[in-house]
Chain A
Amino acid sequence: MAPGLVSAVLFATIVAGTPLILTALGELVTEKSGVLNLGAEGIMSVGAVAAFAVTLNTGSPLLGIVAGMVAGMAMSALFGFAALTLQANQVASGLALSIFGVGLSAFVGKPYESQTLSSVAPLKIPLLSKLPVLGHALFEQQALVYFSWIMLAVVAWFLYRTRWGLVLRAVGETPVAAHAIGYNVLRIRYLAAIFGGAMAGIGGAFLSVFYTPLWVEGMVAGRGWISLALVVFATWRPLRVMLGAYLFGGAMITQMFVQGSGIRLDIPAQFLSALPYLATVVVLVLISRNRSTIRLNSPASLGQPFMPDA
């Protein structure tokens, strides 16, 4: 492959993977605390519309990101109230959040459908962006792309290198024990869920302010659900979330490059589109097959409510 082509494919792959990384990293932390929030699609939608509206009115993409983040936190707090405080079923609460969020974003977003933002210039990293082949792809990206890398390191460090990360994982593994030692399980789960909402909100902001600077109903187009799959695909490991997101993004981009270059593909497009979902199922089977590997990776109490007084 020509260097120019490699650079272009890599660049596009990273861009396509970024909203998935942001959202999936947040969901990963949420799930590590034992909370399954299926509402990512709804949170991203609300985050996208909030970020777009604020950027449009203030002219500041940074304030837009903050707005997306705050909207995402509010949405996940709503989820937390139902699923944690009121101990409603987590699967159902997540679904409710998803439906509500998609509807709400379409509803409040109506007046913004006719508006446009000017695209935000990428953040060139001096020197590094001059590197051959990789320079453009890796170091001439939007600021949020670098943010996704930083957050990856932060999440990995937090989960595996800090005491509070250990506590969070303990809450996800054996909430009863964590409670017995004196940790407030509900509060920790709340914080984890709100962090997840913040990240999904930023993921939505990336879509509406940086990726395709516009707001239209349905623009999240299933990326929230893919992020959920990605967490499993990554077996709850931060670095694998990034690899998975780039694999998902890369599969789409490569498929487009193949189409554009006129190489004959005798496989129906639908088969290619189904591959990521089938791959997720296969990975899930592989990691779950052995009870010890699944125990090592997936939070044992995922999706189960915890009643402090039980």
Chain B
Amino acid sequence: MQRLKSSITLGLGLLAGSSLFAAEPAPTQVGFVYVSPVGDAGWTYQHDQGRKEMEKAMAGKVKTNFVENVPEGADAERVIRQMITGGAKIVFTTSFGYMNPTEKVASAFPDKFFFHATGYKTGKNMGIYNARFYEGRYLCGVIAGKMTKSHVAGYVAAFPIPEVLQGINAFTEGMRSVDPKAEVRVIWVNSWFDPGKEREAALTLISQGADMLTHHTDSTAVVQAAEEKHKDNANLYSFSYHSDMSKYGPKSCLTGTTHLWGDFYTRTVKEVLAGTWKGTNVWGGIKDGMIKLAPLNAAVPEAVKKDVTKLEKEIKEGKRHPFAGPVVAQDGKELVPKGRNMTDAELGAMNYYVKGVASTLPKN
């Protein structure tokens, strides 16, 4: 009986799926390609949260699926393509290394839509998107500047690409805007993901006097290391990246620069479905809801909270730019004169430290 019932349901399902009986159009399939496992925090986790939010917001209209751990080599093109041949109309590819594969598949399927995160190649049916992570970094830097006692912050970073340097420099600018004595020390671990190394780097920075820690790597190790050492130094705090990691540092993680992709995904998919989408290059920040500070820890004093909220508002309204001139490089050279903000093109080409970073950029 059970089997009979299920075969009837199946039959009905098939009928409903066929265009003849369809009262409503079948849901549009949207695919996501991830570079690492979804996990519980980090870059891919945030994208997956965005996917879920979008699916919820568009309930009944879209169906999503994803492939995780897709290598950024020759395999990516096949995965993207198979999402399309598997029925997807829209595909989001969420790592830099997918740029060329995405472009190739996009040109092979002109009636489908492709969105690539963090790259720079666009097309008629291929948009790019990224977030102004540095805006959140600046705010974290300001909090760090207000909270620090040692005037030293430690930064664990992966690779010296512009996006990472923007974060380091914005954090430094923010910190020094309230504490001109402050310096930022950077350790490159040359890996996006190696919890052991990230932890060692964090401990090294702590032993070198840093009492404010943050990271641009993909695990929770730095926040956890700070939580552990918080017992020895009550003024040791951390700022998380990608995700709200307060769960991993309930006492010591002050806040974090979180990435919120849900609204963007919902908006984009809606536009595509409505046929109103025109080639876009989205680089959204706090204003667009793509970057947000995680809830502030109770350890942050009220006065600081107020200041940060005010600054956040100013950034939102475009009244303040983290890289407002004068921006001075580490060696004292003026990069942006007083009176203007750094342009997006200049941001994209960032390959230096600003004044206040105490480490030297590794030479290649």
Contact = CB atoms under 8 A, between A and B. Distances in A.
Check A-B contact in the complex, CB < 8 A.
Answer: yes
Interface of A: 4-5, 8, 12, 15-16, 106, 113-114, 116, 119, 207, 211-214, 216-219, 221, 223, 252-253, 256-257, 259-270, 273
Given A4-B207, A12-B203, A261-B185, 13 more contacts: A5-B207, A12-B200, A113-B40, A116-B247, A212-B199, A221-B196, A252-B197, A256-B201, A259-B188, A259-B359, A259-B362, A265-B362, A269-B190
Contacts, number: 107
A273 B190 contact: yes
A8 B208 CA distance: 9
Interface in B350-364: 358-360, 362-364
B240 to A, nearest CB: 14
Contact of A216 (B186, B195, B358): B195
B46 interface: no
Interface of B: 37, 39-40, 154, 185-188, 190-191, 193-201, 203-205, 207-208, 219-221, 224-225, 227-228, 247-248, 358-360, 362-364
Given A116-B224, A219-B196, A221-B196, A257 B37 contact: no
Given A211-B199, A212-B196, A106 B205 contact: no
A220 to B, nearest CB: 9
A119 B224 contact: yes
- Report, nearest first, the 8 A-B pairs whose CB atoms are least far apart: A114-B40, A8-B207, A212-B195, A256-B204, A262-B358, A262-B359, A221-B194, A260-B185
A207 B196 contact: yes
A270 B159 CA distance: 12
Contact of A257 (B199, B208, B358): B208
Contacts of B199: 211-212
B362 A269 contact: yes
A256 B204 CA distance: 7
Contact of A269 (B188, B197, B204): B188
A269 B364 CA distance: 8
Given A116-B247, A217-B37, A262 B360 contact: yes
A262 B207 contact: no
Contact of B219 (A216, A223, A267): A216
A219 to B, nearest CB: 5
